[in-house]
Every structure is written in structure tokens, then in C-alpha cells.
Amino acid sequence: MASGTAASAHGTGTAHGTDTHRGRARTGVRGSLPFPAPSGYRATAHLKPGPYLAPGSQPSVLPTDVLIADRNNNRLIIVDPQGNIVWRFPKPGDLLPGQTFVTPDDAFFTPNGKDIIVTQEDNYVVSEISIATGRIVWRYGHPGSPGSSPDYLDNPDDAMMLPDGDVVLADIKNCRILVLHPPSHSPVEVIGQTTSSCAHQPPTRWGSPNGVFPLSNGNWIVTEIDGDWVDGFDLRTGKVLWSTNPPGVTYPSDTNQVHGDVFITADYSNPGQVVEFTSSGQLVWRYAPTGTQALDRPSLALPLPNGDVILNDDWNHRVIVVDPRTNTIVWQYGHTGIPGAGPGYLDKPDGVDLVPPYSLTYVHRHAMLGPQNPSTSGG
């Protein structure tokens, strides 16, 4: 499929079909899914592309199914490597009288694989959804009403549940990071000053934080939109470990770890790009295709076990997998530049995750460490 522009050789991945950096499935995690899902590259190696994938797509580049937050279609879907929708929310009858589910942003499985935590950024809420029952089992915030007092949010982003049940998220327009404890509707911890005047002064103030992702060593990585900043952060002690500017990025989004001291961020710009870099700001790899395959405001890129990268290219209405060794798209769901709701179509997809045991929080479950002494430290 289309080629991009490489800044340097990637050199961090392994060959297709090699299952690395990931744990084996546990019966409890796989058993929590109400549909069969492949687990590992051996299970997908023989799969043929279905009619809803873009031409040239290779199902074998994915180890399992993909969760997509399909923002403007007001839905979550899980798509298998062949391009079939195997689960969706909400289905008719899933929402109770008076409940709404609109503009889902990022969505991640809980560490036990039973629920999905989804931020509805422009509806100012975070929702926990049971995969088995299709019900909203917890919600923080007031739909359609932004705010900063307890049980209010203003553009929440990237909420993730820790193994102990706490939820960590960025509250962008309140310039802070929150730790929540379902079913409570008051924060356990407020990190950073609650204000509408965001600025890069971590950890006392944050410059419009739009992502808080776990690292393999127990620390976290925070993305700040203002000034193109990314920070290594110890949530247990509240210490900032390092700060850097992803090289050549205008609007960093949802920075997370590739491995060791290599991190990946999406540049939510048009044309957009995906950049891998180190904590000192050294460029490792850049994907910035031009022409008909140029990215249009991608918001999240995640590393895959085989060295590929999966990302949602929001305003191009597609989710793609890129092989950094060749800078080619090797899998695509969605029609480039064409929004829609039918099979094979998306409308501004804003988040992706993999089905457990390849999901982000399952992979990091032993390293997702929260505050040592939860207390309100901002306000």
C-alpha cells in the first residue's frame, strides 16, 4: 500500500509472526469476552482479508481483534483482523432510559479484560462499560456540562483503570491529572492546579495534558499540548523525572512507550505524523507520508508486538497499521477521507486498543502504580 517518509531506520521491531513483549492469555481474561478472538500471530497467520478491509491489507499483522472508538458514529466497535465487526456498543436496549452515549474519544480495556473505560471528551464524562452485559456500570461527570468541582470534568482524555480499580486520566481544560476511585464521584487525587490557564510547570501546573500512559518501570508519561511537551512522571511520589519536546511535532497526542527509552507520539496536525523519540528528544523514527496517504490529525499510535504501529487517523476516517521497516500501510479499516457508518466505514475514529491479553492495561498491569498516599494534592 502507500509509502511514507522515513527519518531513520526503525530497527526496534521483530519479524512478522513473532510474538514478543507480551504475556500469554489467562483463562479468566479470554473467558470474559462474549465472542471468540484470535490470540497471537500464529492464530492470525492464515487469515485472509475480508471485503471490508482496504486492498492490500494483511490480517496476519495483527495478533488479535481491535477496539475502535468511532467518535462521530457514537459507538465502540471491535473489529477482527479480517475486518468483521464482532462486538459493538451501544446496541438497541443497551442504554437505560435517560442515558446517552455520544462522542467516544479514547477507549481502553480494564486490566481484567471485563470492562472498557471510555472518555467522552466533548461530552465531559468518563464511562465504564461491561463487555458482557453492554451496560454502563459507572460514570463520572455530567453529560454535556463541563466543570471542575467533584463529579465534573472539562475535556477528559485517556482514562485508564489500574489493577486496584482506580482510574487515572487527563482533564485537559482543567489543566490537571485526576485519580478517581469508582464508584466514588469525588477524586482521590488532583495532580496540578485546577485552572483554565494551562501552563507547562509540572507537576504544579500542566500545559493542557491530553494523555497519561503507563510505563514498564512503574512510572507514567504525560503529554502536554501547550509547547509540545512530554514528561516522565512518578505518580507515587509526584516527581517529574524528565521533560522533552518530541522533535518536529506541533500538537503531541497520547504519547506512550515503545520499549525502554523509546516513546511514540501522534502529531494531531494536518498533515499529521507519528514520531518515535527518546527522553532526551532524539529522533528514532518519523512517519510522515505525503500526497493521497498523508495523515490528517491522527491522535493515537500504539506499538504492536511485531514492531508495527497501529494508529487512528481521525480525520481520514481510518485505522491503519504501518510497518516502520518499509513505511508502508499493511492493514486498513475505513475508507480514506470518506466518513460512514456501514461495514468497513468509520467517522473520525478517535481511539484504539487491542483485545486482551494484548490490551495496553493488561500488558502493563504489573507496572501500573498509583499514588502511595492518595490525597488531594492540587485544587
* Section 341-351 average pLDDT: 98
End-to-end Cα separation, the chain, in angstroms = 49
Domains with residue ranges and CATH for the chain: 27-363 (2.130.10.10)
Cell output for 377: 494534592
* Section 226-243 average pLDDT: 97
For the cut 60, the answer to whether the pLDDT of residue 376 exceeds it is no
For the cut 80, the answer to whether the pLDDT of residue 14 exceeds it is no
The pLDDT tens digits for 300-322 are 999 999 999 999 999 999 999 99
Distance CA 157, CA 227 (A): 18
Distance CA 26, CA 54 (A): 32
For the cut 60, the answer to whether the pLDDT of residue 20 exceeds it is no
C-alpha of 308 from chain center: 16
For residue 163, give the nearest of 109, 110, 235, 222 by alpha carbon. 110
pTM: 0.91
For the cut 80, the answer to whether the pLDDT of residue 12 exceeds it is no
What pLDDT is attached to residue 370? 87
Cell output for 375: 490525597
Distance CA 240, CA 242 (A): 6
Distance CA 7, CA 28 (A): 42
In the sheet with 318-323, reading across from the earlier edge strand, the strands are 298-303, 309-313, 318-323, 328-333
Cell output for 109: 480495556
The pLDDT tens digits for 245-277 are 999 999 999 999 999 999 999 999 999 999 999
Distance CA 371, CA 179 (A): 8
The pLDDT tens digits for 96-137 are 999 999 999 999 999 999 999 999 999 999 999 999 999 999
Confidence grade of residue 34 (pLDDT, cut at 50, 70, 90) = confident
What average pLDDT is seen over the chain? 91
The pLDDT tens digits for 175-209 are 999 999 999 999 999 999 999 999 999 999 999 99
What pLDDT is attached to residue 5? 40
Confidence grade of residue 371 (pLDDT, cut at 50, 70, 90) = confident
Surface-to-core class of residue 269, CB atoms within 10 Å of its CB (0-12 exposed, 13-18 middle, 19+ buried): middle
